[in-house]
A and B are shown apart, each in its own frame.
Chain A
């Protein structure tokens, strides 16, 4: 695997739209060619090299390409958008849409990220050591087919509207979650190791949510059915098992109605 190191030496005044920063776009390119790729700041198009110094060449394919971003990337958006393979490491913070519509590969952000990260994700792995803001692993605006697959891990806390319209994949949140988790969900799993604020699983049709802490305002559409012991994220624990959202339509499978499952740790 070959490593391309981008160091932010000339930070943007506005925000950099960095959708070209993916292993797919860097593969097969020399450092100079990578520095010539387009990025946008506001309505102005510039070469990547205007903001970053580029060291190292891309690998032959996306799989063989690793990108390391250094410097304060708080104003850099859309890194790894639509990537299919390879690896990206962001040494500090990053802005919105990191790993959006990601299909494969791995992104590791060592700081915090802003909103819309992992939006429309289909596969791969997005790891955030800090916190994430709103719409983590959510569906794009208007879209009813949200996250399809892959894994998102956020060590810290997340803001609102996590996993809206989730269809598949797994989201693991180490800290707390604000309101609206898995709204309209039709599959997938969300694990919240801290507390959840409320509106957890609203209008959810299918899928699973685990909450280790408390839900400040649980929804009335979820009904306690039993207690279960389950292995979640490598550890076994006992959970109270609720089904819901009973106000929503539910498909039937083999003659039985399918519900979304909400588990809270006992």
Chain B
């Protein structure tokens, strides 16, 4: 029986409403217990430090074929950026780190759960193989549905029950976690060289519009009662003036209420909102519309968002939004990759440099922070960089510092070549708000865990939950005046306990506890129609046979199944 006592830290646990109280946290056999229940624990002295649950990342591209394309076609991303061996496996890369570096770096920052944002269903074995190779952190992966032929056909005919049965089948076939939607309709249209920039543009050959796809998937999601909501990457990403399309997409959630047993309160999660909150009609008069978008989000409780903060780094963009990636390569003329995944999705990869010398980039930087700072409810607004699209996840400490410190923002803005134009085009200079540690705990663990429907296990420190605990060298009663100290503290946590095992000490990984794969198994009534449709499509249209499609058990690593039963 292994026991651990984390003594005297300032505890921030938004799920229990604990706001920096000086408390002890007890751990026994990988679970959190009342400190009084411990008999002879090993003690960690956390006096004068901040104690939070392990971090939860709701949206990050860390495993799977497009991440690997990024790794393969950017060897320069590893050049002189691969430290000598520090842990049991080699680490390399910066914007698209190796699986090993991904796991270690998340752990060093005190994160324990990372949700892979887009799994092409056909390539789910590759996704799960990389999950297995990503040490320490627990992973889930969301298969993409928004351009799937089955989904489009069922939703065109308004067959929610059939779509639900298909969704349940695909989640099981891919050991997936939830419903991801990327540029609904647009990535399918890309197969014909087209796109759906607006939510009422029809998808060619399918007689359905993106708006109907999103609404149909919300209905499907709530029909099934999945832990997570529909996870939407809106149409028209990254273009000037797209905020109107974004608000129209957000409005699609109106009238829907969450129906689930997992404590989730939203019906729609809109991801990397920063890329979708732009005004103007060209790169010349490009401006922020963060306030308009955030006003809508603030006023509607059934929506959650993550910010997708631009970190001003050289990075590698990768998304299932194939047409957008092709558009991007035309902007920067760098090497690019693009692919169509049969009946399911598409994807593209392009390196990108967010430079403080480029006006559009610094406005993008401001938009993300405006979203975070204008958020009224940090339980519904989460920290992300859409890793690696707006910046690598290893910059989260910097994003947190920008949110917590006006001085840190000013320091960064000093490096901007077009500072005045950036200030004119955004409201960043007029915002003095500085978030506190409680709000950061909401935005980086409690909020994402609740939105993912896993807050009974992750994101909090209540007895019975997984013993995932991060300790940061920050004293809330004596916060450092130099924002660089905040960044340092979040970059390398003092302690990380994962599943009750001391994993990180003084920012160094000292143990590699077994990681898990989280997936959602939905039981639905037998549906002969859907089974026949699946059989027919595989016979006629897929390049693989049905029997070879579903994930083989040996691909699945250390699973933790979340069961949903709709037959009751």
Contact = CB atoms under 8 A, between A and B. Distances in A.
B16 interface: no
Interface stretch (B73-81, B181-189, B219-227): B73-81
Contact of B333 (A141, A143, A249): A249
B156 to A, nearest CB: 40
Contacts of B79: 140-141, 143
A142 B333 contact: no
B299 interface: no
B334 interface: yes
A249 B79 CA distance: 28
Interface in B99-141: none
Contacts of B76: 140-143
B interface: dominant SS: loop
B334 A142 contact: no
A262 to B, nearest CB: 21
B318 to A, nearest CB: 15
Interface in A243-261: 249
A184 to B, nearest CB: 10
A144 B79 CA distance: 13
A140 B74 CA distance: 11
A262 B77 CA distance: 32
Contacts of B73: 142
Nearest to B351: A144
Contacts of A140: 75-76, 79
Among B73, B77, B79, B335: residue with most chain A CB under 10 A = B79
A142 B70 CA distance: 11
Contacts of A144: 334-335
Interface residues of B, number: 9
B85 to A, nearest CB: 11
A187 to B, nearest CB: 14
Interface residues of A, number: 6
Contacts of B333: 249
B5 to A, nearest CB: 42
Contacts of A143: 76, 79
Contacts of A141: 75-76, 79
A interface: dominant SS: loop
Nearest to B72: A142
Contacts of B75: 140-142
A78 to B, nearest CB: 12
Interface in B292-338: 333-335
Among A140, A142, A143, A144: residue with most chain B CB under 10 A = A142
Nearest to A145: B76
A154 B54 CA distance: 57
A142 B69 CA distance: 13
Contacts of B74: 142
A27 to B, nearest CB: 20
B89 to A, nearest CB: 16
A249 B331 CA distance: 12
A11 B76 CA distance: 32
Contacts of A142: 73-77, 335
B277 to A, nearest CB: 30
Interface in B59-96: 73-77, 79
A143 B75 CA distance: 8
Nearest to B78: A142
A144 B314 CA distance: 13
Nearest to A120: B79
Nearest to A141: B75
B204 to A, nearest CB: 29
A142 B333 CA distance: 14
Among B74, B76, B334: residue with most chain A CB under 10 A = B76
A258 to B, nearest CB: 14
A67 to B, nearest CB: 22
B77 to A, nearest CB: 8
B447 to A, nearest CB: 38
Nearest to B75: A142
A141 B79 CA distance: 9
Interface of A: 140-144, 249
Q: Which 7 residue pairs of A and B lie closest in terms of their CB atoms, listed nearest first?
A: A142-B75, A143-B76, A142-B76, A141-B75, A142-B74, A140-B79, A140-B76
Given A143-B76, A143-B79, A144-B334, 8 more contacts: A140-B75, A140-B76, A140-B79, A141-B75, A141-B76, A142-B76, A142-B77, A144-B335
10 contacts: A140-B75, A141-B75, A141-B76, A141-B79, A142-B73, A142-B75, A142-B76, A142-B77, A142-B335, A249-B333
